[in-house]
Structures are given as structure tokens and as C-alpha cells.
Amino acid sequence: MSGEFSDDLNACAALVQRGDPDRFLAAMAAPVAARKVLFPLYALNVEVARAPWVTQEPMIAEMRLQWWRDALSEIASGEPVRRHEVVTPLAAVLSSEQVGLLDEYVAVRRWDIYKDPFEDAEHFANYIDQSAGTLTWVAACALGDAKESVVRDFGFAAGVANWFRAIPELEARGRIPLLDGTPDGVRRLAQDALDRLARARANRGAVSREARPALLAGWQAGPILHQAMRAPDRVASGTLGQSEFKRRASLMWVAATGRW
């Protein structure tokens, strides 16, 4: 990927490019120094997100997630960590406190292993906040100063947008991704996410210039959530999203202006 990167960072970038093209583009739109934080985190996200899906055996999937929790615990302890192309660069760029926050981020993905629905609205909100919200918050505070509530509001909105786009595949795999999948239910969830997005944007000043690249990954959240509001059937049909031109152009605009 770059001569400025170590072999591990290049491996992380390649993993993200294959497994999460949107976050790859977002990281590439960030300054080089920020990429050295974002690529290991986004590579972790790829590995953790797919861990529950690579096997039909729940116990094996649990073990895969536990492997990442153990690795993160090693980093947080300050002791020497296992040699791994993702774990090693994570240990180099995150503080013990930041890594400690990622334990809940991994643990919450246990929901993906099983076919039980979310218990209630709080359970769903916690899932989005502890996955998308925590990933965004750790990235932001690793890069610079930011107010946690603002970053988590933005992360929640981006997480719901991504969740909407994932629903067809989740349903195909036998999961029940929404408490209320009716058009009105989709609109309510989209509106809640848009409200949190608006609240985050109203407090842009609480996120420093250095921390802003952590929010680039959510650059499509607004358009996708508005689409879900206007035409909730697009969630089930898997037709949410922007054209390739708009997708790239809007990312360049956000990266250039800092107005996420």
C-alpha cells in the first residue's frame, strides 16, 4: 500500500480493502498519520465482524471472538502481546484505556452467533452503540480530542445506516435484525438515527481537527437514512446507497471541508 507503512500496516490496509471497501476509502481520504491508526482498527473490525459467520458451530464462533478479547486484554495489560498482523500494530497506536474499551465492542458481537431476536429497543440500541459507536469513539480519541457523546451520536447514526444495508444478508442467514421491520418501524428507527446525527453535527466544534478522520467512515449515513425514511421498502430490497460518483464525490467533500 505504501512504503511509509510497515508490512503489518500494509496487511491491515489490504484486509480492509477486501473486507470493507467503504472504510478503506474513508481511511485513504484521511491524512497518512491518521491511517496508521485507522487501518489497524478497521482491520480489527473486519476480523471481528466476520468471526461469527465463518462457522456453523456456535462454540467455535465463541472461541474466535474470545481470541480477540484475549489479544486486546494482552495489549491493555501493557505486557508483550502475541505476534499478529493486526494485534501488533494495534498495540503500537492505542493506549491501554482505548484498547480496554474494545472489549465490549467484541463481546457485543456474540449476538451475531445466535438466531435470537433483540430483546427490546434498549438491547438493539446498546448493540449499535457498543459496536459502531465504540469503534468510532476509540478511533476518534486515539487521533485527538473529542467529546464522547458527540462521537457516539454520530457513530450510532452511521451504525444504523450500515445496519439497514446489511439487513437482506442478515435475514438470508436466519437472523431477525429489527424489532419492527414494518415501514413505520423502519421510519422510526431512521428518524431516531437522523436525530442523533443532527445532534452530533450541531456540536461539530467538540471534535478536534485531529480527531475528525475517525468520522469519515460515516460519510454516507445521512443520505442512506433519508432514503430509508422516504422509501423504507429499500431496506428489505437491498437498494439503499448512492451512485458510485456521488459516493466518492461526497467523501471528497467531507474530507476537504471537515463538515461530517
Instruction: Please state the rounded mean pLDDT for residues 137-142.
Output: 98
29-68 pLDDT, tens digit per residue, is 999 999 999 999 999 999 999 999 999 999 999 999 999 9
Q: Residue for cell digits 464462533?
A: 61
Q: What is the pLDDT of residues 76-132, one digit of tens each?
A: 998 888 999 999 999 999 999 999 999 999 999 999 999 999 999 999 999 999 999
Amino acid letter, residue 46: V
- The pLDDT tens digits for 201-249 are 999 999 999 999 999 999 999 999 999 999 999 999 999 999 999 999 9
Q: How far apart are CA 38 and CA 138, in angstroms?
A: 10
| Rounded Cα–Cα distance for residues 200 and 197 (Å) | 5
- The answer to whether 101 touches 123, Cβ cutoff 8 Å, is no
Round to whole Å and give the CA distance between 180 and 120.
10
Residue 166 contacts residue 177 (beta carbons within 8 Å): yes
Domains detected in the chain: 7-114 (no CATH), 117-260 (1.10.600.10)
Give the whole-angstrom CA distance, residue 246 versus residue 183.
26
pTM: 0.95
Question: Rounded CA gap, 240 and 165, in Å?
Answer: 6
